[in-house]
Amino acid sequence: MISFTPFTPLSPPPPPPTSAATHSLPSVDRFAFLIENSKSLTRLLQTHAALLRHGFHDHPILNFKLQRSYAALGRLDYSVTLFRRTRNPNVFFWTSLIHSHAQSGLHDLALLYYSQMLTQGVEPNCFTFSAVLKVNSLEPGRALHCHAIKFGFDSDLYVRTGLVDVYARAGDVRSAQHLFDTMPGKSLVSLTAMITCYAKHGKVDEARALFDGMRDRDVVCWNVMIDGYTQHGMPNEALLLFRTMLAAKVKPNEVTVLSALSACGQIGALESGRWLHTYIANNRIQINVHVGTALIDMYSKCGSLEDARLVFDRIRDKDVIAWNTMIVGYAMHGFSQEAMLLFNEMGRIGYQPTDITFIGILSACAHAGLVSQGQKFFSSMKNNYGIKPKIEHYGCMVNLLSRAGHLEEAYDLIKNMDIDPDPVLWGTLLGACRLHGNTALGEEIAEFLVSHDLANSGTYILLSNIYAATGNWDGVAKVRTIMKESGIQKEPGCSSIEVNNKIHEFVAGDKRHLKSKQIYNMLEEINGWLKAHGYTPQTDIVLHDLGEKQKEQSLEVHSEKLAIAFGLISTKPGATIKIVKNLRVCLDCHAVTKLISKITGRKIIMRDRNRFHHFENGECSCGDYW
């Protein structure tokens, strides 16, 4: 709640000037000019004091301008005090007051002043509605819609656009769409509001149809559409539209590059991310803490921690979000000691860790199997910093405990949580049951999930994995039958690699690529290398009751192997190969990739669903713990 500091004039207003001196006094126009050109609070106070000394304390135009200027300079308390001293304020005074509070995010106060205006018998105008329609909740928005109809402003273009925006922000897409469709005319602002509505709520095809139909597009509507793609897991479309924007000679701003950097990070497009970094520097887009943090996130997710750290060190006014992003970056790469050092340095400087900080540091512990350290961090989060654990923190702890073999302790933690566990958390424990061969606990958890209608495709896949690991093919067949009858499908494995600023995607056994023949020739060559080094395929992970030869053939065409083969034929000898996989890398592919890195002398960086793996000279940064 804002505190209202009483505004006291520097001196009481003098008596009206004599007629003889009138010609030498400042005029209303002069004072209006001085108010409008007061760029600092001190200058505005001086002008106000002069205005009072010359007897203009009750001049409606000057008071109105003063009220607006105080609000614009961040002194809403002065603005409110001046308003309260205004005799019989008209709708323009009230609207200015409402607008200034709405602009400052004080929506409840804006609504309160709107209500007081009505009780004073002052009717709103279209500008009043445009101001007050910044509310963030649906019920006040609906009431304002009724008022707009009552006072005859519902057909006004700006008011209707404001109403569309209210319903859009509240998630009532149907009402927003109805208002938009019945608008007599559609401005750039109203079109952007509706595109924002669609994009925010996942209707990206509808948003794109509106976007494509626009004659004139400003940077805002481009940003909305690009961000819509980014936020809903369509990074390739986001980057394609970003390039289209550049081709259309529309200059990106900070918001644009934030979305584009996020898209690069999602698909691990390091080359595109580096190009974008250069573009930002060359086009004088300020690398402030927001852009800098987005660059750190992008470089971390694209596998280049060196670049991420360089950006981090160059940010002058780092906030806690920048620190968190760097800590999370180290964690996802399994560089646990570096994450902890940064956490300690952050505390030493005086930054208070947040819930995101602890997600990062607990993930770092989980990736390295640091059970005791993770437990200490988890306790300190609650006891030392008063941060209540969220589902993500419990997920980190379950991952830490279960992967380290403490399955029963992880199970007890889930059962005693203050919040309901989600499928991801149960899936983590189920995956650990498979890893440690605890079929009994895995079956118990799976049965619990099925009986409580909490099972998803991942539940069945993990249970199938558990049965397959013990050679229980009847159990595998039973689970697969249930999945087929229920229409549950396994998420297909997909791996991607960026070459020459283009993303190439592969699924298992993929032969759609233009260089498919060369890729499979390289796979044959790789198989020869592996056999020469005595490698035996890990056929026990194949989830089908097949012959050994068929199992080997199934393993040979996993998506990450196809991506690596393409990388070997498409990049210069010695160049680092970066792969992004949507699922956890399997044991066989992990072992094969280690050998390929040794045989070829290449560094291979692979980002799977859980973390990064840096393969170099036959070793992996995860230490075979993932």
Report the C-alpha gap between 346 and 330 in whole angstroms.
14
Q: Are 613 and 621 in contact (CB under 8 A)?
A: yes
Dist CA 477 CA 483 (whole Å):
10
Residue 592 has pLDDT above 70, yes or no: yes
CB-CB contact of 455 with 443 (8 Å): no
At 520-529, the pLDDT tens digits run: 999 999 999 9
Is the pLDDT at 21 greater than 50? The verdict is: no
Instruction: Give the dihedral sign, CA 407/413/416/422.
Output: negative
Task: Transcribe 64-86 into DSSP letters.
Answer: HHHHHHHHHTT-HHHHHHHHHTS
- Domain spans of the chain, in order of start: 504-620
Average pLDDT of the residues in 124-153: 89
pLDDT tens digits for range 248-275: 999 999 999 999 999 999 999 999 999 9
Residue 469 phi, psi (nearest 5)? -65, -25
The pLDDT value recorded for residue 134 is: 84
Determine the pLDDT at residue 539.
61
User: What is the reported pLDDT for 472?
Assistant: 81
Residues 268, 298: contact at Cβ < 8 Å? Answer: no
pLDDT (0 to 100) of residue 278: 96
Q: Look over the chain and give the mean of its residue pLDDT values, rounded to a whole number.
A: 88
Q: How far apart, in whole angstroms, are the C-alpha atoms of residue 247 and residue 168?
A: 30
Q: What is the pLDDT of residues 450-495, one digit of tens each?
A: 777 787 777 888 788 778 777 788 888 888 888 887 777 777 889 9
Mean pLDDT, range 380-403, rounded to an integer: 95
**What are 280-322's pLDDT values in tens digits?**
999 989 999 999 999 999 999 999 999 999 999 999 999 999 9
Any alpha helices (H) in 302-370, and if so which ranges? Answer: 305-314, 320-332, 336-349, 355-368
> Looking at the predicted structure, is the pLDDT value of residue 5 above 50?
no
What local confidence, expressed as pLDDT, does residue 31 receive?
87
pLDDT classification of 532: cutoffs 50, 70, 90:
very high
Task: Give whole-number Cα distances, 336 to 320, 382, 620, in Å.
Answer: 19, 21, 15
Query: Under 8 Å CB-to-CB from 268, ≥6 apart: which residues?
Result: 301, 302, 303, 496, 498, 578, 579, 580, 607
Residue 20 has pLDDT above 80, yes or no: no
How many angstroms separate the CA atoms of 488 and 490, rounded? 7
pLDDT band at 330 (very low <50, low <70, confident <90, very high): very high
Q: Output 469 or 341, whichever has higher pLDDT.
A: 341
pTM exceeding 0.85 = no
Nearest to 462 by CA among 496, 439, 495: 439
Give the pair of three-digit tokens for residue 40: 């600092």
| Token representation of residue 244 | 């289209």
pLDDT at 1: 36
Res 616 pLDDT > 90? yes
Weakest mean pLDDT among 23-32, 108-117, 185-194, 410-419: 23-32
Per-residue pLDDT, 9: 37
